[in-house]
Amino acid sequence: MHIHSTYKLINSSKAVKEYRKELKEISKINLRRSSKFNILAVLGALRATKEIKLRENLGIYVASEYGPINDVYKLMQTINEENNIVMPFDFLNVNSNNVSFYVSQALNAKGKNMLLTSQYLSFEKSLQLAQFELEIDEISDILIGGVDESLEEVKDYEKYVNFANNQTSQDGSCWLYLNNESSNSLGEITNIQEFSSSEELLKNIKSTYSKIALNQFAQNDENIVSKLDNNKIIDSKDFFGSEGALRVLDLLEYKGEHLYIAKDINNNYITIELKV
């Protein structure tokens, strides 16, 4: 799969009105009362494709760890407080499946669109599915994004979410546009592979990668880290829920053949190999 366009938005938690203002400057889509999650996704997708002539059979894949978590939190607070009324848009904004429809609507795209989530591997699993559907000609092009809100407004979120490195949660909307055409591409994803143990993974990776990126759980897997060349490992301070999208974009900044290793809390692994 060849990468033809990317976009990265990483911010500390910003108010939704600020993103609405940015969106209004580039699109006429009416999301005035929509969730921050939806607006982050649409904003990122539009910016990723601003120089792209979209084809009819485009597949849109939105990956997310938490979905519209801030709106869910606010809704639960409203329900639990006396004399508060839940409004129709409150319910609409906690329906996470809306997000891929809004992206499709903003792009005037007619192909398939979907939201996918898989605990701590949402972007990686989404990219894997998109690759398969491209291979069987279900789609001709891929627009895939990792989208998540900062959790800073959710009280005691640390009780429910594992952050292996105690990172600060940020707003993020990171996107890639891919297809099978090599001409003028920014890079190529050459292989995506799953492993059920670190031993199996280590047997199947090469020693010649130029750069290596690790997600939060792989960074703390001593069995893996001890076998890698530390000089090749990218130390990135940015972090948000759909971390995999960010790590792939990090690797695209370097020339060479690269490796991204993702791990979840159940010791499942996915590797993504790239050539730039």
Which two structure tokens, joined as six digits, stand for 10? 């990483």
H or E segment at 141? strand 141-148
The overall average pLDDT reported for the chain is: 93
Task: Say if residue 91's pLDDT is above 70.
Answer: no
pLDDT band of residue 245 (cuts 50, 70, 90) is: very high
Which two structure tokens, joined as six digits, stand for 160? 């429910």
User: Model confidence over 97-131: pLDDT tens digits?
Assistant: 899 999 999 999 999 999 999 999 999 999 999 99
- Architecture, CATH, for domain 187-275: 3-Layer(aba) Sandwich (3.40)
- Burial class, 83, CB count within 10 angstroms (exposed 0-12 / middle 13-18 / buried 19+): exposed
Q: How far apart (Å, rounded) are the C-alpha atoms in residues 223 and 141? A: 37
Q: What's the length of the chain?
A: 276
Domain with CATH 3.40.47.10 in the chain: 2-179, 187-275
User: Model confidence over 252-264: pLDDT tens digits?
Assistant: 999 999 999 999 9
Report whether 178 contacts 194 (CB < 8 A). Answer: no
H or E segment at 211? strand 211-214
User: Model confidence over 169-188: pLDDT tens digits?
Assistant: 899 999 999 999 999 999 99
Task: Say if residue 81's pLDDT is above 80.
Answer: no
pTM here?
A: 0.94
Q: How far apart (Å, rounded) are the C-alpha atoms in residues 17 and 6? A: 24
Task: Say if residue 86's pLDDT is above 80.
Answer: no
Residues 6+ apart with CB under 8 A from 86: 75, 78, 79
Report whether 263 contacts 218 (CB < 8 A). Answer: yes
Q: How far apart (Å, rounded) are the C-alpha atoms in residues 130 and 272? A: 13
Q: How far apart (Å, rounded) are the C-alpha atoms in residues 236 and 255? A: 17
Q: How far apart (Å, rounded) are the C-alpha atoms in residues 97 and 5? A: 25
pLDDT band of residue 43 (cuts 50, 70, 90) is: very high
- Architecture, CATH, for domain 2-179: 3-Layer(aba) Sandwich (3.40)
User: Model confidence over 137-174: pLDDT tens digits?
Assistant: 999 999 999 999 999 888 888 777 878 777 888 999 99
User: Model confidence over 182-211: pLDDT tens digits?
Assistant: 999 999 999 999 999 999 999 999 999 999
